[in-house]
Amino acid sequence: MSDAGAGSYVEQGEFRRDTNYITTRITADGSEGYPVEPGRYRLVAARACPWANRTLIVRRLLGLEPVLSVGLCGPTHDKLSWTFDLDPGGVDPVLGIHRLRDAYLARFPDYPRGITVPALVEIGTGQVVTNDYAQMTLDFSTEWAAYHRAGAPDLYPEARRDEIDELNREVFREVNNGVYRCGFAGSQDAYDAAYTRLFTALDRLSERLSTQRYLVGDTITEADVRLFTTLARFDPVYHGHFKCNRSKLSEMPVLWAYARDLFHTPGFGDTIDFAQIKEHYYAVHRDINPTAIIPDGPDLSNWLTPHHRDQLGGRPFGEGTPPPPPHPAERVPPIA
């Protein structure tokens, strides 16, 4: 079970993502039984997974590190679960478990679906609360507002939520999930249709971003976070592994500059571990890459080149400020 989506399947050659998640929410008023409280929950993520990567970015941008700890799974996993291979003894030091599956079964002994990251786990009970990644980051911006750092950006401004929501739906359908629709297509016709949909959407986004620095307004929002995690994986993984090969990201000038702009923004690039990303996709997706050989390329030093997007104006954090450098324990390896 990979970030392709546990329980996802191919129907008539077309990849279908299972989007049924544990929808319990952690809210400021605790109306669903789980109130926002510092130190009560642990975010379990994996740097390899684009859906989990979103939560790591938003947590950084909003400054939730002091109130919401993070447990990081390794880049690979077996058929049962993501595992804490990066920790001593392969055990999460806070939850005391080897497999994320244990937290799911602690709450749902007969849990029938796959074990996915990101997940929020209640530390005291060891039980998973939610794995609804799309709602999770929106709640970080709204329900956890009392614990945002001074100068945190407004990633989900109330006046623009309808626009952000609409764009997020399109980006999910055509891009975030679109690359998987290409990679896991079970027929030539399904692949051809998926390929066309993906690059039509990328061209449309390129046109939108040709005259504005960010997707919605003149500051970073939730919409930029959701697009960025797919773009960051495009050349290292999706272009070759998923056959999304009309163009590399680095050959699409507007999107390439936009992605580098975000990569250079504190909170984005400092959550990206390209080695873990490549290891996950090429080692776990044995149906696509049966040898599990991880390619040496591409050269990723081009992510460090100037982007010049600041010429379009805009202020990344609006009236706020950049987050401080990540805690030493959460730093990623620099690009060589």
Catalytic residues: 49, 180
Is 45 buried (19+), middle (13-18) or exposed (0-12) by CB count in 10 A?
buried
Name 121's bridge partners: 42, 128
Let me know: does 208 contact 215? Beta carbons within 8 Å: yes
CB 107 within 8 A of CB 128: yes
Grouping H, G, I as helix, E, B as strand and the rest as coil, residue 282 is: helix
DSSP 220-267: --HHHHHHHHHHHTIIIIIHHHT---S--GGGSHHHHHHHHHHHTSTT
- Any idea what DSSP says for residue 302? G
Q: Where are the alpha helices (DSSP H) in the chain?
A: 50-62, 101-107, 133-142, 161-171, 178-183, 188-209, 222-232, 239-241, 253-263, 274-284
Residues 277 and 30: their CA atoms lie apart, in Å, by 35
Treating both helix axes as pointing N-terminal to C-terminal, what angle do 50-62 and 133-142 enclose, rounded to 10 degrees? 0
End-to-end CA distance of the chain: 31
Closest by Cα among 257, 271, 268 to 322: 268
Long-range contacts of 269-273 (CB under 8 A, 24+ apart): 269/303, 270/60, 270/325, 270/326, 270/331, 270/332, 271/47, 271/53, 271/56, 271/57, 271/60, 271/326, 271/332, 272/47, 272/53, 272/232, 272/332, 273/47, 273/48, 273/332, 273/333
